[in-house]
């Protein structure tokens, strides 16, 4: 709190400055305002000092580079950003490849799961020749040349009795 001598001092300063007398309550309020203002001023000074120290630390960590030619500046910027750009592009390509491979695998897996006899067609798919004609696709086969081994995916057997064409899919 404020004592009597301090109140008289405040009243005297006010009288000297403004040539007006004030009562004790006004002097007490002025003392309170001055005390709070002093506290705020010291807090503000501490904040300004902290900001100045942070600014000095930032300035000391910065490295200024000046170029006399725009080409040199461009090559410097490219050298600084190129490694990160290459890493980003390679990562993006790898990620895209993994996603597309995963999608293809899931599609093939779905087909194999949907058609249980699909693995039996493997040799036919490896050796068969597809012919494109008039906007349609055909599996091109020829009759069996000799009665020996059949070329899977290349030859067929025509059974005259049942009038069926037999396409070999492999041997067990």
The more confidently predicted of residues 66 and 51 is 51
What integer pLDDT is reported at residue 6 of this predicted model? 84
Least confident residue range of 85-99, 108-122, 150-164: 150-164
Mean pLDDT of 3-12: 85
With vertex at residue 7, the alpha carbon angle to CA 3 and CA 9, rounded to the nearest 5 degrees, is: 120
SS3 call for 159: strand
- Report which secondary-structure segment, H or E, holds 4: helix 4-18
What is the number of other CB atoms lying within 10 angstroms of the CB of residue 27? 20
As a whole number of angstroms, the distance between CA 72 and CA 55 comes to 29
Mean pLDDT of 63-71: 83
pLDDT digits (tens, 9 = 90+) for 142-164: 777 667 676 776 677 777 777 77
pTM: 0.33
What integer pLDDT is reported at residue 170 of this predicted model? 62
Work out the mean pLDDT of the chain and round it to a whole number. Answer: 82
Residue 22 in contact with residue 11, Cβ under 8 Å? yes
Mean pLDDT of 160-170: 70
pLDDT category of residue 93 using cuts at 50, 70 and 90: very high
pLDDT digits (tens, 9 = 90+) for 13-40: 888 888 888 888 888 888 888 889 989 9
Closest CA to 151 of 133, 121, 127: 127
């Amino acid at each position: 709190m404020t004592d009597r001598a301090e109140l008289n001092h405040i009243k005297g300063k006010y009288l000297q400055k403004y040539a007006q007398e004030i009562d004790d309550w006004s002097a007490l309020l002025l003392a309170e305002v001055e005390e709070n203002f002093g506290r705020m001023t010291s807090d503000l000074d501490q904040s300004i000092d902290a900001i100045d120290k942070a600014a000095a630390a930032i300035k000391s960590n910065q490295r200024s580079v000046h170029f006399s030619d725009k080409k040199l500046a461009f090559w410097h910027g490219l050298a600084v950003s190129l490694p990160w750009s290459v890493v980003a592009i390679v990562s993006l390509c790898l990620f895209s490849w993994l996603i597309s491979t995963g999608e293809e695998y899931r599609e093939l897996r779905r087909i194999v799961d949907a058609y249980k006899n699909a693995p039996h067609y493997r040799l036919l798919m490896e050796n068969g020749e597809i012919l494109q004609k008039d906007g349609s696709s055909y599996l091109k086969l020829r009759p069996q040349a000799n009665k020996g081994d059949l070329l899977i995916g290349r030859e067929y057997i025509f059974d005259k009795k049942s009038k069926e064409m037999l396409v070999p899919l492999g041997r067990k």
